[in-house]
Amino acid sequence: MTSLLGPAKTPWYFLIGAGIIMVYALCTSKKAHNVIKTSVDLSRQDEGEESFGSTPIARTLVRISMNIANGVTGIVPENAKKWINTRFRKDEAIIADGAAFDLVRASVNLVLAGLLIALGTSLKLPLSTTYVTFMVAMGTSLSDRAWGRDSAVYRITGVLSVIGGWFLTAGAAFTICFFVAMIIHFGGTIAIVVLIGLAAFSLIRSQIIYKKKKEKEKGSETLKQLMKSANSDEALQLMRQHTREELSKVLEYAENNFELTVTSFLHENLRGLRRAMGSTKFEKQLIKQMKRTGTVAMCKLDNNTVLEKGLYYYQGNDFASELVYSIARLCEPCLEHIDNNFNPLDAIQKGEFGDVAEDITYLIQQCRKKLENNDYTHFEEDIRRANDLNAQLSHLKREELQRIQSQTGSVRVSMVYLTMVQEAQNVVTYTINLMKVSRKFQLETDV
């Protein structure tokens, strides 16, 4: 350990080789590009799809900042406020096509980050260049009024997430280094070989997971093209494609989670119901994000197109939201019932509802395929099938009410069963309504 006290004597060709490897990695690594993308998204001048959600800490910070700003605004003279506002005229900013912000802010970011990094290096401070560059970008975006009231809470959540991730990574690396050193000290050569194999496995597994994650994010490319589009006709076609992609995901979720909820409840599978409930909470957040980005994207269409097709688009989003919430209302009482170890459904109830549930899952599957392929032929058959299913569910509801009147069976079982039947009807209705308005939005002429 005493060798660490002496000066480091690294051969110059090692330094050049390390620099070449680093530059190559920055130019080719998708993960490095993703880091830059996160920084650019958080400092973007205009509104759009936000990568992060909302957290209590971010909401509190925004609320405190707004109160302080309102207090300061009240004592600043009107002439001073008018002069300050003239320095932030967005219509005078020259932003290149597809750029997140103008060249003035980009130049300030580069110069200021470079100066801070050079100063830290000259003072031999252990600065992270990535951290300095990121914080400079966030500071300039805040001072450039890129964070409005509609986006501030999401941007602050993103900044806190990135900074928190760095600290967690540092703590994890520090702890893992301790254990690795201990393993090598006591395990010797064998331990080194095992650790190298484990590191290789971790890198390969991480790359596979990252590729799968990027595959799932491909759908957002359509939205990016839509936000860059300046032609109303092109924007309409891109918006139709984006809507098909998003609503298909909603129907896929509905198909999988409806089946998972019903099957898990009938077989008293608590783990499956918890998984379905967790998936439902996540889907609710995606629905909110879909509505928000769709409203922003609607600005790319001309007035005539918005008046003609806009209503169908918003109705489609509303039906998608109601579909998700119906499955949530179906899953919640089922989870509570099984979690409390209440009596299960009797054999008659299981058989009746199980058969109808299979038909509902099949209906959702057929609707999803039609939506994905943008092919609405034979859709009238799905409407008739949905009407038949609703009639069957109404019949099940009447039979259960008769059983309650005759006081046969458990009241708790009857309550959860009636809830399941009602929400199943809602699932069928909202699925068909979603398809109807989607067909009107996708086709050139209303049907």
Query: What are 55-68's pLDDT values in tens digits?
Result: 899 999 989 988 99
**Contacts of 305 by beta carbon, 8 Å cutoff, 6+ apart:** 232, 236
Contact 40, 95 (CB under 8 A): no
161: exposed, middle or buried (Cβ count in 10 Å: 0-12, 13-18, 19+):
middle
pLDDT of residue 57: 92
Here the tokens at position 71 are 């207090």
For the cut 70, the answer to whether the pLDDT of residue 98 exceeds it is no
| Domains with residue ranges and CATH for the chain | 13-75+99-167 (no CATH), 228-442 (1.20.58.220)
Residue found under tokens 């409203």: 295
pLDDT at 103 over 80: no
Length of the chain: 447
Identify the CA nearest to 417 among candidates 405, 432, 429, 403. 403
DSSP 434: H
Q: What is the pLDDT of residue 91?
A: 67
Say what the pLDDT of residue 47 is.
67
Q: pTM for the whole thing?
A: 0.70
Q: Are 420 and 334 in contact (CB under 8 A)?
A: yes
Instruction: Look at 304 and 338; give whichever has higher pLDDT.
Output: 338
Is the per-residue pLDDT at 92 higher than 70? no
Residues 6+ apart with CB under 8 A from 397: 418, 421, 422
The token pair at 401 is 């009410």
Task: Indicate if the pLDDT at residue 8 is higher than 90.
Answer: no
Average pLDDT, rounded, for the chain:
86
Percent of the chain whose predicted confidence (pLDDT) is above 70: 92
Alpha helical stretches, state H, 46-151: 56-75, 78-86, 103-122, 129-143
Report the Cα 285 to chain-centroid distance in Å: 7
N-to-C CA span, the chain: 80
| 139-168: average pLDDT | 86
Distance between CA atoms of residues 35 and 197, nearest Å:
27
- The single residue listed with the structure tokens 């506002």 is 85
Cα separations in angstroms, 34 against 127, 173, 231, 270 = 22, 21, 29, 38
Q: What average pLDDT score do residues 143-165 get?
A: 86
Is it the case that residue 371 has pLDDT exceeding 70?
yes
Q: Which residues of 71-83 are buried (b: 16+ CB within 10 A; e: fewer)?
A: eeeeeeeeeeeee
Q: pLDDT tens digits for 263-272?
A: 999 999 999 9
User: CB within 8 A of 3, min separation 6: which ones?
Assistant: none
Distance CA 118, CA 155 (A): 28
Residue 63 pLDDT: 92
1 has a pLDDT exceeding 60: no
Question: 274 and 248 in contact (C-beta within 8 Å)?
Answer: no
- Structural tokens at position 229: 């589009």
Q: What is the CA radius of gyration of the chain?
A: 29
- Print burial letters for 295-334: b (CB count within 10 Å at least 16), e (below 16): ebbbebbeeebbeebeebbbbbbbbbbbbbbbbbbbbbbb
Neighbours of 349 (CB within 10 A): 22
